[in-house]
Amino acid sequence: MLTPENMAAIKLSLELAACVTLILLIFGTPLAWWLARSESSWTAPVGAVVALPLVLPPTVLGFYLLLAMGPSGYLGQLTATLGLGTLPFTFSGLVVGSCLYSLPFVVQPIQIAFQSIGNRPLEIAAILGASPIDRFITVALPLAKPGFLTATILGFAHTIGEFGVVLMIGGNIPNETRVVSVQMYDHVEALAYDQAHPLAAAMVLLSFLTLLVLYFYQKVRGRAKTNFGVSI
């Protein structure tokens, strides 16, 4: 059975994942559009920065974020000046760190979806008099819907599974920063395997169901494309 402490950790993890995913979808979409459509020489270095969490050890990212958001860091001084205090060991700090760590899992699927659209649909919309914003909203976004679904699922699942970044930034404060991965670490460190097993099983089931939704959608979408092609 899941203990109240485990349930609190699951609830906090779900809240964190939902918040981070929403933020990344809002701010990651224009970034993905720019990376997919711009011919600027800056797209390569910016794309590399976006993808950096894929290869960078989480503890390294968490360490530098801890320094940046601390009392002596530039970000920490900014938030202190604004009257917000410092972000380490707070839920807000977890949100900031998780957004950076999950950034490529949201931006890259959307970027790939935008790139797969090609120029033709947008050119036709432009010929018909659609403005750039209209073309983005009425043409690009609907055609990129599969990429948004993939980005949402991957960003949500990846945020729930974080450990290194959240431990470095958030520590282990009950009902504030103690997410599932940290709670699991506490149980294992205390050799409380009887408490770790239900929590681990719940996370395995949640992760499996999340990915199952993604694969099921992709399979159904692939069949729809095939049937559409045959009917033509």
pLDDT, residue 227, reads 56
Domains of the chain from N-terminus onward:
4-35+57-222 (1.10.3720.10)
pTM of the model: 0.87
pLDDT, residue 189, reads 87
Residue 64 CB neighbour total at 10 angstroms: 14
Amino acid, single-letter form, for residue 11 = K
Q: Which residue has the tokens 């900014």?
A: 78
Burial class (CB in 10 A: 0-12, 13-18, 19+), 130: middle
Task: Give the C-alpha separation, 185 to 190, whole Å.
Answer: 9
pLDDT < 70 positions in the chain: 1, 222-232
Burial class (CB in 10 A: 0-12, 13-18, 19+), 139: middle
